[in-house]
Amino acid sequence: MQTGNVRTRTKLLALLATLMLFAFGFLRLGSEPSYKAMSLSQWLDYYAATASLDEPSVNWGLQSGESPALGSPQAKEAAEAIRQMAPKAIPFLLRWLQTRSAPPNNHEADKRLYRAFAGFVALGTNATVAIPELAKVAANPNAPGAPFAIRILIGLGPAGVPDLMNALVCPHLEITKVRILV
């Protein structure tokens, strides 16, 4: 009789362990990618703080696939970390361009929009795989990151031009409200 109880307990413990592993794996699917014990957001904040993200640097960084601020080892380290996470980071960056964080009404106040932009700058030409999705964001007048997506597509140069042109001829996009930095 006790053998049956032991077997039942063993089965229940195995089932419980399996459910816990499944739950942990499920929760990890929604979490940000990480590299060297730092999350994507942490690397993006570090990159934004150490890289020179002025307009000439951003243009050069996107088109060359290199990190701007060549003289900054910290920016190069952060950009490399972001590139290492690229396959898992790009969906987060795109999601951040499409949704606004709570309260802010302007893009300057929404840290996720700037993080997403900095992430695409760090990725440079490694971001070309995201061009179709960036064009969808650029064409969506309700996407808070539409101006950023347009800027990223411009910075990607010839690879982004066809999709950018298609996005800009979208009748729903009010070009007058979008400030494009060239």
Domain ranges of the chain: 1-31, 32-177
Of 119, 181, 131, nearest in space to 156 by CA:
131
Of 47, 133, 125, 137, nearest in space to 86 by CA:
125
Prediction pTM value: 0.68
**Which segment of 59-68, 89-98, 130-139 scores lowest on mean pLDDT?**
59-68
Q: Quickly tell me which residue has 């030409």 as its tokens.
A: 125
Using N-to-C axis directions, what is the helix angle for 73-84 and 40-50, rounded to 10°?
Answer: 150
Q: How many CB atoms lie within 10 A of CB 169?
A: 10
* E strands in 107-180: none
Judge whether residue 21 has pLDDT over 60.
no
Beta strand 38-39 with 34-35 is antiparallel
Spatial distance between the Cα atoms of 135 and 158, rounded to a whole number of angstroms? 14
Mean pLDDT of the region 141-149: 88
Mean pLDDT of the region 59-79: 63
Using N-to-C axis directions, what is the helix angle for 40-50 and 86-98, rounded to 10°?
Answer: 80
Q: Which amino acid is at 36?
A: K
Degrees (nearest 5) of the Cα angle 138, 143, 145?
70
